[in-house]
Amino acid sequence: MSTAGVSGEDRQDFTTRENKAIRSRSIALLRVLVRPHRARFGWTAIMVVASTAAQVAGPLLIAWGIDIGLPAAVDDGNFAPILTIVVAFLATGISAAGFLAAYTRWSIAISQDMLGALRRRIFEHTQRLSLEFHERYTSGRIIARQTSDIDTLGELLSGGLSNLVAGLLFLVFTAVALVSIDPPSGVALAIALVPIVAVTWWFSNASRREFRASRIFSTRLIIQFVESMAGIRAVKAFRREPADRETYAAKVEDYREATRRTIHVFGIYDPALKVIGTLTVAAVLLFGSFRVIDGTLEVGALLAVVLYTRRFFGPIEDLAMFYNSFQSASSALEKISGFLEERPSVVEPANPQPFEASRGDIVATDVSFAYSAGKPVLPQFSLSIAGGQTVALVGATGAGKSTLAKLIARFYDPTDGVITLDGRVLSTIGDVDFRRAVTLVTQEAYLFTGSIADNIRLGKTDATDDEVMAAARAVGAHDFITALPDGYDTDVNKRGSRISAGQRQLVSFCRAFIANPRVLILDEATASLDIPSERLIQSALQKLLADRTAIIIAHRLSTVAIADRVLVMDHGVIIEDGPTAELLKGSGRFATLHRAWRNSLA
Ligand SMILES: Nc1ncnc2c1ncn2[C@@H]1O[C@H](COP(=O)(O)OP(=O)(O)OP(=O)(O)O)[C@@H](O)[C@H]1O
Ligand SMILES: [Mg+2]
């Protein structure tokens, strides 16, 4: 079943063991992502080291130029040392730039490859998960996994990581160079480290807090936006705009304020670092100048020491920032790895025997079902539908009709008991064979971007144009399709050629017709059709259903007329079951319902 409990976002109160599990699954995911790029990682690391070393060599070469090259040229007229040093300075400077360009490109290429792989993985996983997952996990959250979480991770991978390594190396190399030229200046730097560590510690805590808040507010902003736009019809119908506008404005304000505070933290940290840097450089300069006057320090060495001290402060902010992006990225990784750990609740058997439906007999034995434990929607029932039968399933709203349909179409597995098709337990049939045998058509009738013909071909990808047209004729959709601007090639999502809800249902009928399954389940599939279209469909349906097992769920009882048998459901229990004509003659629930319905038409 699912592992929603440790998916890492609905709760904060994880136990130590859960935290460990979350960390190890994040690391495992990272390993899988890194593995194909190990060699390139190694080369990138070598280039980072080379570039940093070359950068740090600069001030040292300047010191040599002044202390060794200059005297040789001035006193002895020997220009060889200064020229050599200038050439070396140019060479290290240019190669530092070259290595920098190379490792920047490489690290971006590696990280984009990793992110691409991760995106595909998330998408494939989303597809693999069962309907149960999609009815539970909101689409807003899936969108967040695929967008902001991936982006956060991308920021760390493409910039942060190589910056971290380069920054740390730079600090170490600079400190080593400084101490080797002039140990007393190293002491000054060591003293400066005390306030640096203090403000950096403050900064990383404060910025982490503010960044986290601003991320939370930005997610809330996205969620409300998505929800408000997804429900735009209801928003307009019930004049919810002012209320929505107000709550949205409040969220914008929260986000603005959080971002302002984040920037404020930088506004304190950056100047503080600058002040510490200036004081340190001033101290090194003053102290060094006295020693130059004493003759214990060369002028060039003083210049190098001052340059090193100044540059030492450069990467510190990057490092503090890295800590932040590392925090966000690891929480994104936790969420993504949690999502990837979700397991489909309806699992395809490992090595299924091939299956081809023959008669289309459906038998449910002692089946019970609950969406969530302890709340049975369908208490125990048994049911047998002979192949070729057309069964109407009727009952009040919430009776469990759609649930029964989803069980037979194996979008869910029964909590208890088994359902078989032609004697084979549904869970032992491979997905491809099963989907070929059983089709569920719902009221939703979703159309994908593309032409009408493409949408009909969803039922049979290799259908010819003639087959598509024959299907449309059979369900009575041909006339409306040919009346569209481009006929069968009309783009369903293009402005001006949008088609109505009823027309969409006709298209989804075409799909089912062309798919030609042994078992066809229609769940409110005719609800949006007008009476003439429905009549048309009915004659088509009769043809369509003649040689297959069919279950029709409909509130409109006219649809029921073509059924051989009626099942009446109430609170998850089948309370009447019999041939349509017989039930109509009796005085049961169905007869009462049908009489009331007839009277309403008269
Ligand atoms: N995904 C779900 N998670 C939890 N409970 C659900 C889910 N889908 C349906 N239910 C519950 O199961 C019960 C039966 O719902 P079902 O959709 O099967 O009814 P129905 O007979 O098809 O109703 P209608 O005529 O309105 O379509 C309802 O109480 C409903 O709240
Ligand atoms: Mg329903």
Q: What is the CATH number of the domain that holds 435?
A: 3.40.50.300
Determine which residue's CA is closest to atom 18 belonging to ligand 1.
Answer: 400
135 lines ligand 1 (CB under 6 A): yes
Residue 105 inside a domain? The answer is yes
Shortest-distance atom of ligand 1 to CA 372:
4
Q: Ligand 1 centroid to 143 CA: how many Å?
A: 26
Per the DSSP assignment, residues forming a β-bridge with 378 are: 369
Q: What's phi and psi for 415, nearest 5 deg? A: -70, -40
Q: What is the DSSP track for 527-570? A: TT--HHHHHHHHHHHHHHHTTSEEEEE-SSGGGGGG-SEEEEEE
Q: Ligand 2 centroid to 344 CA: how many Å?
A: 23
Based on the fold, state whether residues 304 and 231 are members of the same structural domain: yes
CA dihedral sign of residues 100, 103, 105, 108 = negative
Q: Which residue of 130, 397, 403 sits with most ligand 1 atoms within 8 Å of its CB, as the best mutation to test the pocket?
A: 403
Based on the fold, state whether residues 123 and 260 are members of the same structural domain: yes
371 lines ligand 1 (CB under 6 A): yes
Q: Which residue of 133, 136, 371 sits with most ligand 1 atoms within 8 Å of its CB, as the best mutation to test the pocket?
A: 371
377 lines ligand 1 (CB under 6 A): yes
The ligand that comes nearest to the alpha carbon of residue 133 is 1
Residue 30 confidence (pLDDT): 86
Residue 477 inside a domain? The answer is yes
Residue 346 inside a domain? The answer is no
Determine which residue's CA is closest to atom 22 belonging to ligand 1.
Answer: 402
Instruction: Report the CATH number that the domain containing residue 174 is assigned in CATH.
Output: 1.20.1560.10
Q: Ligand 1 centroid to 401 CA: how many Å?
A: 8
Based on the fold, state whether residues 174 and 273 are members of the same structural domain: yes
Based on the fold, state whether residues 240 and 385 are members of the same structural domain: no
Which residue, 286, 312, 341, sits at the end of a domain?
A: 341
393 lines ligand 1 (CB under 6 A): no
Q: What is the DSSP track for 212-273? A: HHHHHHHHHHHHHHHHHHHTHHHHHHTT-HHHHHHHHHHHHHHHHHHHHHHHHHHHHHHHHH
399 lines ligand 1 (CB under 6 A): yes
Based on the fold, state whether residues 260 and 394 are members of the same structural domain: no
For residue 218, give the amino acid letter: S
Residue 536 confidence (pLDDT): 66
Q: Ligand 1 centroid to 369 CA: how many Å?
A: 12
Per the DSSP assignment, residues forming a β-bridge with 425 are: 420
Residue 413 inside a domain? The answer is yes
Which residue, 291, 311, 341, sits at the end of a domain?
A: 341
Radius of gyration (C-alpha) of the chain in whole angstroms: 36
Residue 316 inside a domain? The answer is yes
Q: Ligand 1 centroid to 274 CA: how many Å?
A: 64
The ligand that comes nearest to the alpha carbon of residue 395 is 1
Strands (E) across 58-138 are located at none
Residue 3 confidence (pLDDT): 37
114 lines ligand 1 (CB under 6 A): no
525 lines ligand 1 (CB under 6 A): no
Based on the fold, state whether residues 587 and 509 are members of the same structural domain: yes
Q: Ligand 1 centroid to 392 CA: how many Å?
A: 18
Determine which residue's CA is closest to atom 25 belonging to ligand 1.
Answer: 397
Per the DSSP assignment, residues forming a β-bridge with 569 are: 395, 574
The ligand that comes nearest to the alpha carbon of residue 403 is 1
Based on the fold, state whether residues 456 and 317 are members of the same structural domain: no
Residue 352 inside a domain? The answer is no
Q: Ligand 1 centroid to 400 CA: how many Å?
A: 6
The ligand that comes nearest to the alpha carbon of residue 555 is 1
Based on the fold, state whether residues 62 and 123 are members of the same structural domain: yes
Determine which residue's CA is closest to atom 12 belonging to ligand 1.
Answer: 377
Residue 491 confidence (pLDDT): 87
Residue 62, token pair as written in the block = 């300047």
CA distance 282 to 292: 15
Q: Ligand 1 centroid to 397 CA: how many Å?
A: 8
Q: Ligand 1 centroid to 442 CA: how many Å?
A: 14
Based on the fold, state whether residues 263 and 370 are members of the same structural domain: no
Give the burial class of 152: count Cβ atoms within 10 A of its Cβ; 0-12 exposed, 13-18 middle, 19 or more buried.
buried
Q: How many domains does the chain have?
A: 2
Determine which residue's CA is closest to atom 29 belonging to ligand 1.
Answer: 398
Residue 315 confidence (pLDDT): 84
Determine which residue's CA is closest to atom 30 belonging to ligand 1.
Answer: 398
Give the burial class of 465: count Cβ atoms within 10 A of its Cβ; 0-12 exposed, 13-18 middle, 19 or more buried.
exposed
Shortest-distance atom of ligand 1 to CA 132:
1
Residue 166 inside a domain? The answer is yes
Residue 6 confidence (pLDDT): 38
The stretches in the chain having pLDDT less than 50 are 1-11
Based on the fold, state whether residues 583 and 434 are members of the same structural domain: yes
458 lines ligand 1 (CB under 6 A): no
CA distance 399 to 394: 9
Domain residues for 418?
A: 362-601
* Whether 119 contacts 332, CB under 8 Å: no
Residue 592 confidence (pLDDT): 83
Based on the fold, state whether residues 165 and 287 are members of the same structural domain: yes
Q: Ligand 2 centroid to 55 CA: how many Å?
A: 69
> What is residue 418's three-state secondary structure?
strand
Based on the fold, state whether residues 367 and 284 are members of the same structural domain: no
Sheet with 519-523, strands from edge to edge, namely 438-441, 519-523, 549-553, 390-395, 565-570, 573-579
Residue 26 confidence (pLDDT): 85
Which residue, 275, 310, 341, sits at the end of a domain?
A: 341
Q: Ligand 2 centroid to 407 CA: how many Å?
A: 13
442 lines ligand 1 (CB under 6 A): no
Residue 512, token pair as written in the block = 């089912």
Residue 355 inside a domain? The answer is no
